[in-house]
Amino acid sequence: MESVGFKEWALVCEALGHGEQTIILRKGGIAEGRDGFAFKHREFFLFPTLFHGQMEKTRLANALLPEAREGEVAIDFFVKLEFATVVTSWETARALEPFHVLRNDVVRERFEFEGARGVHVALVRVYRLQPRWIFLSKPGYGGCRSWLTLPALPKGTVIKPVLSDAEHLNRTARVNALLGL
């Protein structure tokens, strides 16, 4: 298992890890490089990012930001990418609402960002790490880029799927139908 981290809002990480979200919507970070954003890895750890404004950008009414200890990173979830595509139809992007927790205006903002209509959509299978993986933060984890190299996962860490196989297959079929796959 490669130790790659994918930076995502902490609330979105929690939603993915509790089965409230099945897809990841991404336009890209400021520092993605000349080629822009892409889902470059088939497997990765969700690296939660904290900022106070994310609460207002989701449809989560009573969500709490997970606790973060100064100087530490806590990783709770591992992801396997089922597929990724770029959605260039606003109607299709909007129809994906049951599979994520972002507010419609946030999705629209990402969809329209810098005049390039479209958003990257990844269907993922999420696994919970047991025990939680905690390691020291470092300056290289900052910045506006999506992908990070993490330390080696501790031996003995177990991963268990968040959703049952049947529920995952059900959601996969529904997303595929919306995307015409």
Q: Give pLDDT tens digits for 90-111.
A: 999 999 999 999 999 999 998 9
Structure tokens at 18: 């509790």
Taking alpha carbons only, the member of 29, 12, 121, 30 closest to residue 77 is 12
Report pLDDT for 71: 86
Residues of the chain with pLDDT > 90, as a percent, come to 68
Q: In degrees rounded to 5, what are phi and psi of residue 42?
A: -80, -25
> What was the pLDDT predicted at 50?
80
**Residue 35 — very low, low, confident or very high, per pLDDT cuts 50/70/90?**
low
Residues 57/103, Cβ–Cβ less than 8 Å: yes
* The pair of three-digit structure tokens given for residue 3, joined into one six-digit string: 């130790």
**DSSP 3-state assignment of 75?**
strand
Confidence of residue 84 (pLDDT cuts 50, 70, 90): very high
Provide the sign of the torsion angle of the four alpha carbons 158, 159, 164, 169, taken in this order. negative
More confident site: 96 or 59: 96
Q: How confident is the model at residue 55 (pLDDT cuts 50, 70, 90)?
A: confident
**What backbone torsions phi and psi does residue 93 show, to the nearest 5 degrees?**
-60, -45
